[in-house]
């Protein structure tokens, strides 16, 4: 594989204190994530998956170790530069959709375009519509979240994350609120985005049914990587 990693974590350590106890959640993790692939981090509850995603996306600083994203070392960025980095390069999809209930699908997807360089309203509407078409919702752009199914809401959330064409797309449990059919649609969309747009897509899931849809699966246990497999090898092992 000759692609240059877009996301590199080196010796990442993160602990949380609660009262007098201190829990080490990331135990010196090193990993490199490639563009154009859907990489899935799996592992038991509490193994550190969401914490790792937060550290790799700059939402959380590690106690020690470094994250290089798109060639920048995140711990060296000021708070403002880190905000700019996330606005410019990152899209986020979460389990709970986080849509504004009073806004239509189109209005929800338009929101991120209000931040960053100003663009013409007609251009913004065209881009938001294209993002909704990409997730198969071109005919539902005027509907509000309560008129959409869970799977459709998550697809709106993906369109909102995609509208700024992020280089890095982070998805934390994107399918856990969905039934298996809708979960599969969502993971197929994430896979498609990685392959067709060269986006680095990094997802976290405890849903083992998603494994076969990923290009690469990294397994965490107790804050350490215990397995790192490519799809080809997983099929051969099956
Ligand atoms: N902000 C925090 N303060 C204190 N402890 C935290 C915090 N965030 C996470 N933890 C603890 O860190 C451990 C790992 O949490 P994390 O959410 O990363 O695990 P996970 O593998 O994503 O779990 P799940 O699959 O249940 O979502 C857990 O024991 C959790 O309680």
Instruction: Look up the ipTM and state it.
Output: 0.96
Average pLDDT of the residues in 22-27: 95
Question: Which residue ranges make up each domain of the chain?
Answer: 7-97+166-237
Residues 193-229: tens digit of each pLDDT: 999 999 999 999 988 778 888 999 999 999 999 999 9
Residues of the chain with pLDDT > 70, as a percent, come to 96
Mean pLDDT of the chain: 91
Residue 235 has pLDDT above 90, yes or no: no
CA of 41 to the centre of ligand 1 (A): 14
pTM of the model: 0.91
Q: Are 220 and 188 in contact (CB under 8 A)?
A: no
Specify the residue with its C-alpha closest to ligand 1, atom 30.
46
Query: Is residue 111 classed as helix, strand or coil in its secondary structure?
Result: helix
Confidence band of 10 (pLDDT split at 50, 70, 90): very high
**pLDDT score recorded for residue 180:** 86
Q: What is the CATH number of domain 7-97+166-237?
A: 3.40.50.300
The set of residues, in sequence order, having a beta carbon less than 8 Å from that of 235 and lying 6+ positions away, is none
Q: How far, in Å, CA of 22 to CA of 106, rounded? A: 44
What residue ranges in the chain does DSSP mark as E strands?
7-18, 21-33, 38-42, 64-69, 72-73, 90-94, 168-172, 200-204, 216-221, 224-230
Mean pLDDT score, 64-89: 93
In this predicted structure, what is the pLDDT of residue 33? Answer: 97
Specify whether the CB–CB gap between 90 and 166 falls below 8 A: yes
Residue nearest to atom 7 of ligand 1 (CA): 16
Residues with CB under 6 A from ligand 1: 16, 18, 25, 43, 45-51, 206
């Amino acid at each position: 594989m000759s692609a240059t990693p877009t996301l590199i974590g080196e010796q990442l350590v993160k602990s949380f204190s609660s009262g007098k106890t201190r829990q080490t959640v990331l135990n010196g993790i090193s990993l490199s994530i490639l563009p154009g692939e859907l990489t899935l981090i799996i592992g038991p509850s509490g193994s550190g998956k969401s914490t790792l995603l937060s550290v790799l996306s700059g939402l959380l600083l590690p106690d020690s170790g470094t994250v290089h994203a798109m060639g920048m070392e995140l711990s060296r960025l000021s708070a403002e530069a880190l905000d700019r980095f996330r606005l410019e390069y990152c899209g986020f999809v979460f389990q709970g959709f986080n849509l504004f209930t009073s806004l239509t699908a189109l209005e929800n997807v338009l929101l991120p375009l209000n931040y960053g360089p100003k663009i013409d309203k007609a251009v913004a509407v065209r881009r938001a519509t294209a993002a909704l078409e990409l997730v198969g919702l071109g005919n539902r752009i005027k509907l509000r979240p309560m008129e959409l199914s869970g799977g459709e809401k998550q697809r709106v959330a993906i369109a909102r994350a995609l509208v700024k064409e992020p280089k890095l797309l982070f998805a934390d449990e994107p399918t856990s609120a969905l039934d298996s059919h809708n979960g599969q649609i969502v993971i197929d969309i994430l896979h498609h985005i990685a392959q067709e747009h060269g986006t680095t897509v990094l997802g976290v899931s405890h849903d083992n049914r998603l494994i076969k849809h990923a290009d690469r699966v990294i397994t965490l246990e107790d804050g350490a990587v215990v397995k790192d497999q490519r799809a080809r090898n997983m099929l051969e092992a099956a």
